[in-house]
Amino acid sequence: MSTSTFIAERHPSDPLFRADRLPHIWCPGCGIGPAMHAYAQAMVESEIPLARHVCVSGIGCTGRVPGYLNMDSYHTTHGRAIPFATAIAIVKPELEVTVYSGDGDLFAIGGNHFIHAARRNVDLNVICINNFNYGMTGGQVGPTTPMGARATTAPFGNYEQPFNLPYLAAATGAVFVARWTSLHLRQLKQAFLRAMKKRGFTFVEVLAPCPVGFGRPNDIGDAMEEMTLYRERCVVDASARLDSLDIDLRDKERPITLGNFVDIERPVFDPLAMMRPAGERENHAALAGKTQEG
């Protein structure tokens, strides 16, 4: 039996990333990298040219994602990814705009923007890596930290009710709402693809391990252990009641429910057309159609 060493000089996804920016800043076991790769693959498979994709983030560990992608990308101020992306989506409707940011950035300091962009049904994809804490500043309690989970600013456990993000997104008007984990990469990529195909405000929550900030204080030994937890506790149920999707890591009997929960149609935000009287809207729609074909 012969043995040989196989060394890959190149990765099939190399052209999608800025190799000169690597190694990345994320800790070993972090879930952001695999989820970023799923997003990159979805872009390739989306049949939308890479040059028409735009990725926008706020501040935090996930906020670093656009910096590693070889595409038009923007690292905005804390919490402000959605208003930034909203402006791009409105002035350049031919672009496929995705906000790729973390739970702290999108739902604490940026929470107001999320609910209003969803309400208006702006043509955006929002991908939220939820690692249940403020990772970049070192593991503080945030608006998604599960009840009872420990953080550096909640050393004996969080006592504030966290957001149920799919429920929030659906209630505020998102037309596509999904939750997967960094273990469920095929389903995650499919959800990203669906979000890219769909016009309007789409939301994909990605549960991801943060072994250093969240796992360590919560007796989750390492990333593998959190991935095992996902494998054992996650159930896929797209028809689950949205108000039942809270995550409680203390209750070992309680499943973590995943799926594509919402896929509906609503008028997509378009101020140029919507502000005008009904007759002119049709003209605009015809003009817009012509531009797209041309």
Partner 1 sequence: MKQMLTGNTAAAWGARLADVDYIPAFPITPQTEIIETLAQWAAAGEIPARFVTLDSEHSMLTAGGAAAAAGARVFTATSSQGLLYGFELLYTVAGWRVPFVLVNVSRGLASPITLEPDHNDVLAARDSGCLQIHAETCQEVFDSILMAYRIAEDPRVLLPVIVNLDGFSLSFTREPVELPAVAAASIYLGEYAPGHAWIRGERPMAQGVAVLGGAVYSYFRYQMQLAAENALTVHEEAAAAFETMFGRRYGLVDGYRLDDAELVLVMSNSFATKGRAAVDLARSEGVRLGLLRLRLLRPFPREAIRRALAGRRAVAVIDQNLSIGLGGITVGEVAHALYAERDRPPLLSYVGGLGGKEISDQEFRRIVSDLMLAAATGETPPPRLLFTAAEARQMQTLLSIAGKEGAG
Q: Which residues bind partner 1 (CB under 8 A)?
A: 20, 59, 75, 77-79, 108-109, 111, 134, 136-138, 140-143, 152-156
Give me the least distance between CB of 100 and partner 1, in Å please.
17
Minimum CB distance to partner 1 smaller for 101 or for 125: 101
Minimum CB distance to partner 1 smaller for 42 or for 210: 210
State phi, psi for 207 to the nearest 5 degrees: -75, 135
Classified as helix, coil or strand, 118 is helix
Determine the Cα–Cα distance for residues 137 and 109; give it in Å rounded to an integer: 14
Residues in the chain, overall count: 294
- For helices 81-91 and 111-120, angle between their N-to-C axes, nearest 10 degrees: 30
Helix (H) or strand (E) holding 34, with range, is helix 32-45
Determine the Cα–Cα distance for residues 53 and 179; give it in Å rounded to an integer: 22
Minimum CB distance to partner 1 smaller for 142 or for 200: 142
In Å, how far are 5, 14, 15 from 8, measured between CA atoms?
10, 11, 15
C-alpha neighbours within 13 Å on the C-beta side of residue 274: 9
Give me the least distance between CB of 196 and partner 1, in Å please.
28
Minimum CB distance to partner 1 smaller for 138 or for 267: 138
Give me the least distance between CB of 66 and partner 1, in Å please.
13
Give me the least distance between CB of 91 and partner 1, in Å please.
21
Minimum CB distance to partner 1 smaller for 58 or for 259: 58
Give me the least distance between CB of 133 and partner 1, in Å please.
10
Minimum CB distance to partner 1 smaller for 70 or for 140: 140
3-class secondary structure per residue, 250-288: CCCCCCEEEEEEEECCCCCCCHHHHCCCHHHHHHHHHHH
Give me the least distance between CB of 200 and partner 1, in Å please.
26
Minimum CB distance to partner 1 smaller for 143 or for 209: 143
Q: Which tokens go with 268?
A: 């997509």
Give me the least distance between CB of 110 and partner 1, in Å please.
9
Cβ atoms of residues 188 and 35 within 8 Å:
yes
Give me the least distance between CB of 59 and partner 1, in Å please.
8
Cβ atoms of residues 117 and 128 within 8 Å:
no
Determine the Cα–Cα distance for residues 220 and 222; give it in Å rounded to an integer: 6
Determine the Cα–Cα distance for residues 12 and 209; give it in Å rounded to an integer: 25
Minimum CB distance to partner 1 smaller for 212 or for 234: 212
